[in-house]
Amino acid sequence: GAGVSQSPRYKVAKRGQDVALRCDPISGHVSLFWYQQALGQGPEFLTYFQNEAQLDKSGLPSDRFFAERPEGSVSTLKIQRTQQEDSAVYLCASSSRTGQADNYGYTFGSGTRLTVV
Amino acid sequence: AQRVTQPEKLLSVFKGAPVELKCNYSYSGSPELFWYVQYSRQRLQLLLRHISRESIKGFTADLNKGETSFHLKKPFAQEEDSAMYYCALRAQYNFNKFYFGSGTKLNVKP
């Protein structure tokens, strides 16, 4: 596609409910990233994939958070037993490169706004 | 630990006035610094990075390692510059992760 696509755009979940957020990166982009952006804050890194391999998951806040990218394209971020503190915008980004030299290929999606009530 | 601080939540200037958005960082190594911008109802996008030493849309930013700062400047603000601006740092040992500041909302008044 032309850009990074995220769905749904908005999600309201009851506390304790499981949610799944989807990211469709730009076709052929090797690297995929998830960030969490709480209200009034900047994005915070959650996890990074290179193709289907999850190379860094150091930012996942708890074991309730799980991300996968089984075929190296679409990625899903799953949150189990959602809590109110999980309310945030979840941003996905993809890049055509894997190295340090390039950052212009780092394209963000519009995000999914998750509200836990 | 890496940290990026943007002390101003909101900055309001009149059109044609100079603007400076402050960014300070803490990092013991050699960082890469970036400015990202998010216009209303648009996606977060890269504005500029210190390595390029470029001017984008009239904006420049100089990395000052002595003061650990990377302030974003523009001599004459335009109304279309109104947006959220985020300063971000990337560590030399892990270039797959950005550390973002909390952002500054720039409002350019006519």
Residues lower than pLDDT 50 in chain B: none
**Nearest Cα to B81, choosing from B52, B55, B59?**
B59
State pLDDT tens for residues A1-41.
579 999 999 999 999 999 999 999 999 899 999 999 999 99
Tell me what percent of the residues of chain A surpass a pLDDT of 90. Answer: 85
Q: What is the DSSP string of B38-95?
A: E-TTS--EEEEEGGGT--BTTBEE--BTTTTB--EEESS--GGG-EEEEEEEEETTEE
Residue B46 bridge partners (DSSP): B36
A55 in Cβ contact with A49 (< 8 Å): yes
N residues, chain A: 117
pLDDT for residue A21: 98
Contacts of A48 in chain B (CB under 8 A): 96-97
What percent of chain A clears pLDDT 70, i.e. is strictly above it? Answer: 92
Question: What's the pLDDT at B91?
Answer: 83
Q: What is the pLDDT of residues B72-100, one digit of tens each?
A: 999 999 999 999 999 999 887 777 889 99
Q: Which residues of A touch B (CB under 8 A)?
A: 3-4, 31, 33, 35, 40-45, 48, 55-56, 58-59, 91, 99-100, 103-104, 106-111
Interface test with B, best of A48, A98, A103, A107 (most B CBs within 10 A): A103
